[in-house]
Structure 1
Amino acid sequence: MNRITGGERYESGPDGEWAIRRISGSAAVKTYRCPGCYQLIPPGMPHVVAWAAYGDGDDRRHWHSSCWERRTHRSVRHPRR
């Protein structure tokens, strides 16, 4: 199920309920590390910000759009130590 409220979209999936916001390239001004592939999301690249739908937003993460769409098909990678 998808529903939109303001700039946020709410999605239900096998991995839970999520609030997401699509970030345009012009609004992307910082570098982030995607939790799906652990590669950088550079400034200027459109991407997705997602967090638990009923949480406080502390778990908010920036994802490549394609990684977000494929998230249920693989596990989240963690950085090598």
Structure 2
Amino acid sequence: MSPRRNNPKDRADRDLDEGMSRRGIEHVRDDPDGEWTVRHLSGDTSDKAYRCPGCDQEIPRGVAHVVAWPSDGWGDPGDRRHWHTTCWRGRHQRKPNIQRSRNAPRYG
């Protein structure tokens, strides 16, 4: 057996890499709407459904998506939003999602 495989430091690095891949790797984006911390999650790490703020549709369990929150905070869970990847990418081109009653007139 290779001495490299028995090195505890290598095992710790490998465990860290597996943990990061499960949680997603965070990066900071400076966009016109502010600075955001963004994490891309694979579908196998999603253990519950979320509501996307971009389209107001459900992101089912097991679907890859994006988690984003303002970078100026400490990542308070209340500030985190789960987005469909395409909704996150197109959020600047989209009109704001306005909740209306079924019979309300549409202006604009």
Which of the five TM-score ranges fits, normalised by the shorter chain? 0.7 to 0.9
How many correspondences in the alignment? 76
Distance 2:54 2:83 in 1: 7
TM-score normalised by L of structure 2: 0.64
Task: Tell me how far 1:17 sits from its aligned partner.
Answer: 0.2
Gaps (5+ residues) in structure 2? Answer: 1-23, 102-108
- TM-score (norm: length of structure 1): 0.83
1:74 aligns with 2:94: yes
Q: How far apart, CA to CA, are the structure 1 residues paired with 2:81 and 2:31?
A: 17
> Following the alignment from structure 2 to structure 1, what is the Cα–Cα distance between the partners of residues 63 and 98?
22
More helix by share: 2
Does 1 or 2 have the higher relative contact order (CA < 8 Å, sep 6+)? 1
CA RMSD of aligned residues (A): 1.8
Seq. identity, %? 50
For residue 43 of structure 2, what is the aligned residue in structure 1?
A: 25
- Report which of the two has the higher share of strand: 1
Correspondence for 2:55: 37
Could you tell me which runs of 5 or more consecutive residues in structure 1 were left unpaired when the two chains were aligned: 1-5
Segments of 4+ moved more than 6 angstroms = none
